[in-house]
Chains A and B, each alone.
Chain A
Amino acid sequence: MTTTSWMLGLIAGCCAVTIVPRVLPFLLVRSVKLPAALLRWLSFIPVCILTALIVQGLLIQPENGRRIAVNWPYVLVAAPTLLVAAKTKSLSASVIVGVVLLAIVRWAM
């Protein structure tokens, strides 16, 4: 149960730089009426950022000079997970099927 003032400073700094981008837009939209074009742009953010986060998960980040790689077990399991999601429209079912299938793939490999 120990820490240093250096660590406390670090955690406080990281807390500040994380909370500002989270909260600022909520304060901004109260005083500024967002233009229609910006609202239209924002309507595309969910689909685009979810896609980007999925692709980020399916890739293995390059480390010390190596090239970017595909996480094949993930890609293999992503396809049936997509089908389950489309069929059941259930988040829970998709997550459970995905996790179980990945465990099976790892066990089989």
Chain B
Amino acid sequence: MNNHPAGEERHTPAPNTIAQGFKDCAPTLLGYISIGLAFGVVAAASGLSFLEVTLLSWLVYAGSAQFIICALLVAGTPLLSIILTTFIVNLRHLLLSLTLAPYFTRYSVGKNIGIGALLTDESFGIAAVKASKEGRLGDRWMNGLNLTAYISWGLSCMAGALFGRWIAEPEILGLDFALVAMFIALLVLQLRHIPAGKLRGYLLLILLTAALMVIFSSFMPAHTAVLLSTVIAATVGTVTIR
């Protein structure tokens, strides 16, 4: 395969099927559904109509950006400022897509556009773990993963907007932690495929990223802090971990 990031360890790949992608997406569903419902509730409370919530969830399809759009709408922000903010919030997708794109160069342009258009933090995390485990990614698997996430997000947002009044606060149930818990597990799984000799370097890199996040978050928006911490830490890793 061409243009392909080095995977240190190769396992027998799971089948490249939509069904396998659906199966591998399952652990993220609790996060998508609870946050999607919460978004629908918040959006309806911010004065968005059901049609607007539906369009936003299926066309923008970006959790944190959708919440920020609602907050800006309530604050009466001008159109171009909201679009610019959305752009900055979603700029991190550039990194996610650039990391995964080399695995899909053997597929058609159309397939690549479809895969890229539905990439999220969560589907990226699962695909990155699979890529470091198996050294390759399949189109049907990726589409199964992406579509499962996309459809559950869209439907959850719509349900939240429709039935928001009858849904208990997700906070009481602890569901708001689903996303963080999943990122923690994805990080652990990602580290399993690091060769033992490099593990110390990676752990230091994690500490560095965390420290940068705490520093940057105190004086800049969270999404910019994520972007900047990641770029700086990855650069330090490239230079120091051999």
Contact = CB atoms under 8 A, between A and B. Distances in A.
A and B together in one complex: yes
Interface of A: 1-3, 6-15, 17-19, 21-30, 33-34, 37, 39-59, 61-62, 67-68, 74, 77-78, 81-82, 84-86, 89-92, 94-106
Interface residues of B, number: 102
B204 to A, nearest CB: 11
Q: Per DSSP, are chain B's interface residues mostly helix, strand or loop, or mixed? A: helix
B27 interface: yes
B167 interface: no
Contacts of A62: 218
Contacts of A84: 185
B14 interface: no
Interface in B1-30: 2-3, 5-6, 26-28, 30
Contacts of A103: 172-174
B205 A50 contact: no
Contacts of A9: 79
A100 to B, nearest CB: 7
A55 B213 contact: yes
Contact of B177 (A14, A46, A50, A102): A102
A7 B101 CA distance: 32
